[in-house]
Structure 1
Amino acid sequence: MKLGWVRHGKTEWNALGKIQGQTDIPLNEEGIAQASALAERLANDEFKWDGVISSDLMRARETANIIAVRLGIPLLAPDIRLRERYFGEIEGTSEAERLARWGEHWRTAYTGQESDQSVRTRGLDFVNEWLGNSSAYKLLVVSHGSFLSQMLHTLCQGLDDSYISNMSYSIVEYQEGQWQSVLHNCTLHLK
């Protein structure tokens, strides 16, 4: 099985440096163009995907739809397990607001957000369900930055810890009982 992991295109909140979490924000014009750029890259690639699925949040659904239409592949029903981490009161805040309220270690100082373990558990539940049902399937998955960082590092050892960019493209493949990274956090289509 191959999974292509895609972070959604840019939104206005991304542009403003606000954390979105599970707040339902649409793509902005740049995000739509980014999704179209990846769709074009994938359309011209020799490797073909069987379908695309996304989280149920608007920015991921819009990105997945643009890709599915361009590639002419099925757009599957959204899956809530692919949602971004719930950030609680941090959602909608800028970096300056987070620093003022919780200090420079706001990521660990604020305790009202979904835990890494919870994100990994629901993500692995999704992956294992697909692996059990469709081991030969090649599936594109459109999700969110914090979620993708947790999933990619949980599935594959030794990945660099770089920020997962908007519209980044990663591929993992299940071989001999483990996941292998084929491509990680690639944004060549945005150049």
Structure 2
Amino acid sequence: MTKIGLIRHDVTEWNDLGKAQGITDVPLNDEGISQAIKLGHRLSEDEKWDMIFTSDLSRAFETAKIIGSRINLPIKSLDKRIREINCGKIEGTTEEERIQIWGENWRDLDLGMETFWDAANRGIQFVEEINRVYRGKRVLVVSHGALIGLTLQHLLPDKFSTTYIDNTSITILQNIEGNWTCNLYNCTVHLK
């Protein structure tokens, strides 16, 4: 049985401001660093994990590095496939700014955004590869909210028609005899 812990990176200044981050490389803020320490502490008291993979964007990499230092586990690999969805022209804007610039129907415009299917496909390919190459291992994956949510929706459509992934949350996927299950979703108990 392969177990994958999907972790959304911790808080950034753009998260606090409600700005779309996409693939813009925004670092963690002080609160985000504190959140990563709390999650690392929680994971140090959990079962042992075998490896950590992370998106190459600094907010995910920083989160993975802090967690890894708490559980004595180096980062195995940085992987562009688990980057956030590319938000094109809307990166760095708030919802209010998007409406001012492109109107209320801005979602219907071609603003250079990656499709939800393309982002989900990247996530699914990555998770399936982890399951194939590291079968039977316990793998932490530090990624991004939309990428994790879209991956879950397409990997387990009967369970997830919509998702919301909180900063610093952990979601646990297990693959048992070729079937994916999700026994823990969007858990942030370590922040309370």
TM-score, reference length from structure 2? 0.93
Higher mean alpha-carbon deviation, 27-36 vs 122-131, is at 122-131
Residue 141 of structure 2 corresponds to: 141
Whole-Å Cα distance in 2 between the matches of residues 172 and 70 of structure 1? Answer: 22
Q: Secondary structure at the match of 1:161?
A: coil
Show the counterpart of 1:118.
Answer: 118
Partner of 1:29: 30
Q: Is the 8 A contact 1:149 1:164 kept in 2?
A: yes
Q: What's the counterpart of residue 57 of structure 1?
A: 57
Report sequence identity in percent.
47
| Aligned-pair CA distance for 1:135 | 0.8
Instruction: Find the aligned partners of 1:105 and 1:179 in 2 and give their Cα distance.
Output: 36
| 1:1-191 superposed matches below 5 A | 1-45=2-46, 47-156=47-156, 157-159=158-160, 161-191=162-192
Amino acid at match of 1:168: S
Q: Cα distance, 1:147 vs. partner? A: 0.5
Structure 1 stretch displaced more, 73-82 or 154-163: 154-163
Matched position secondary structure for 1:5: strand
Q: TM-score, normalised by structure 1?
A: 0.94
Q: Displacement of 1:162 after TM fit?
A: 4.1
Specify the SS of the correspondent of 2:77.
coil
SS at 1:119's partner residue?
Answer: helix
CA distance in 1, matches of 2:60, 2:165: 15
Structure 2: distance between partners of 1:176 and 1:60: 30
Using the TM superposition, give the Cα deviation of residue 10 of structure 1 relative to its aligned residue in structure 2, in angstroms: 0.3
Task: Work out whether residues 5 and 170 of structure 1, in 8 Å CA contact, stay in contact via their aligned partners in 2.
Answer: yes
Q: 1:160 to 1:125 in 2, by over 3 A?
A: closer
Shift of 1:53: 0.9
- What secondary structure, in the 3-state scheme, does the structure 2 residue paired with 1:77 have? strand
Q: Which amino acid is the alignment partner of residue 176 of structure 1?
A: E
**2:52–2:77 Cα contact (<8 Å) kept:** no
Q: What amino acid is the match of 2:133?
A: N
Q: Which amino acid aligns with 1:158?
A: K
**Maintained 8 Å contact 1:102/1:110:** no
More moved, 17-26 vs 101-110: 101-110
The residue type equivalent to 2:118 in the other structure is S
Counterpart of 1:142 in structure 2: which amino acid?
Answer: V
Flag structure 2 segments of 5+ consecutive residues without an equivalent.
Answer: none
Question: Which deviates more, 176-185 or 56-65?
Answer: 176-185
